[in-house]
Amino acid sequence: MRLFVHLIPQASHTKIEGWETDAAGKKRLRVKVTAVPEDGKANAALIKLLSKTLGIPKSKIVLIRGTTSRLKEFEIEGEVEIMG
């Protein structure tokens, strides 16, 4: 399954804020992490949070697009249920 995320690094708290819809009508999960956007730290924090929230190993979450962008696309292996 594909998951689109809008990541906000260097936030005061790490949390999933909920769903947002962009101008093109694509739904994205809005997530804040306290990690800085340097050397992949924010991406790693995001993957760790998604892994914990979805109850799947980090190895099942693959960043496909957006390594250096706030807008990210993930491929998640296996069956997971994401509300929204």
In CATH, 2-76 is 3.30.1200.10: yes
How many degrees, rounded to 5, is the angle at CA 15 between CA 14 and CA 21?
A: 130
Q: In the 8-state DSSP scheme, what is residue 1?
A: -
- The reported pTM is 0.92
pLDDT digits (tens, 9 = 90+) for 39-77: 999 999 999 999 999 999 999 999 999 999 999 999 999
Asked if residue 83 has pLDDT above 70, the reply is no
Residue that is written with structure tokens 């991406």 in the block: 43
pLDDT, tens digit, for every residue of 4-45?
A: 999 999 999 999 999 999 899 999 999 999 999 999 999 999
Between the alpha carbon of residue 76 and those of residues 45, 50, 54, 62, 82, the distances in Å are 16, 10, 10, 6, 11
